[in-house]
């Protein structure tokens, strides 16, 4: 077999690696968003189904196309579930690496299986093949019209999905601020300290304002007393201990 007989699998390998480079160097590019859709919704299922069924007689083109989308929707959450139980968690880089490795492994397996198949399935894109697959010549006028409407609906749905993902509606604008205990939980804050004793808390600021914001944080040591009878606080002295700012 010639390299062109594996053009689909080689293309998926190349596009998966290209997406990695785009995310690393051009994270806001439109091409990255377009490739990301195929990377998540099509590539995993396609390489998986091609590795499992390399023979032409096992599945027809429409079945392979439908299973590629369906299995991708099943495979990606399972990979995410597995990552949830690892130290890396469900974040961009672990998911990107996991899906890239998955695509590479099963693409190579599919190439091997296709090379050893008796009558391998090799996708050929042409108008004649499409008409043959849809049984165009044998269809009635009504069936042809319904087929055209279905194709237009599928293309429109994909285009709409792409637009929604590439042009997301901004959510609520806010700044997230939190103080956690030493264990990273909203509990076990140090309360009773002696002179010279060290204690720490975790201060977090997250920017959800959809713009750059400069945050200023001041840490004060306050000498105060609290009257439990009147529920009043009396501040005697205040000392500025530290000051920092950060652009987020």
Average pLDDT, the chain: 84
Predicted TM-score (pTM) of this structure? 0.60
Q: Which two tokens stand for residue 183?
A: 């264990």
- Let me know: does 71 contact 45? Beta carbons within 8 Å: yes
**pLDDT tens string 7-51:** 999 999 999 999 999 988 888 787 887 788 889 889 999 999 999
How far is residue 11's CA from residue 233's CA, in Å, rounded to a whole number? Answer: 69
Whether the predicted pLDDT of 71 surpasses 80:
yes
Whether the predicted pLDDT of 127 surpasses 70:
no
- Let me know: does 69 contact 157? Beta carbons within 8 Å: no
Residue 225's pLDDT is 87
Q: Which two tokens stand for residue 102?
A: 């998955």
Spatial CA neighbour of 239 closest among 228, 224, 225: 224
How far is residue 97's CA from residue 91's CA, in Å, rounded to a whole number? Answer: 10
Backbone phi, psi, residue 220, to 5°: -115, 145
């Amino acid at each position: 077999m010639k390299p062109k007989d594996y053009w689909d699998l080689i293309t998926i390998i190349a596009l998966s690696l290209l997406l990695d480079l785009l995310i690393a160097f051009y994270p806001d590019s439109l091409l990255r968003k377009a490739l990301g859709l195929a990377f998540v919704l099509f590539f995993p299922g396609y390489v998986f189904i091609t590795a499992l069924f390399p023979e032409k007689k096992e599945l027809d083109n429409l079945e392979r196309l439908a299973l590629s989308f369906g299995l991708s929707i099943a495979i990606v959450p399972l990979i995410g579930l597995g990552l949830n139980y690892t130290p890396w968690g469900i974040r961009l880089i672990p998911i990107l690496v996991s899906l890239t490795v998955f695509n590479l492994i099963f693409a190579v397996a599919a190439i091997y299986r296709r090379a050893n198949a008796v009558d391998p399935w090799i996708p050929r894109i042409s108008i004649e093949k499409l008409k043959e697959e849809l049984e165009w010549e044998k269809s009635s006028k009504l069936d042809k019209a319904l087929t055209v409407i279905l194709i237009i609906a599928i293309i429109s749905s994909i285009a709409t999905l792409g637009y929604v993902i590439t042009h997301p509606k901004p959510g609520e604008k806010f700044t997230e601020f939190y103080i956690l205990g030493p264990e990273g939980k909203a509990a076990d804050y140090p309360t009773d300290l002696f002179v010279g004793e060290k204690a720490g808390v975790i201060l977090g600021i997250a920017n959800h304002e959809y713009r750059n914001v400069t945050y200023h944080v001041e840490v004060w040591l306050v000498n105060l007393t609290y009257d439990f009878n009147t529920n009043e606080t009396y501040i005697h002295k205040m000392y500025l201990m530290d000051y920092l700012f950060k652009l987020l």
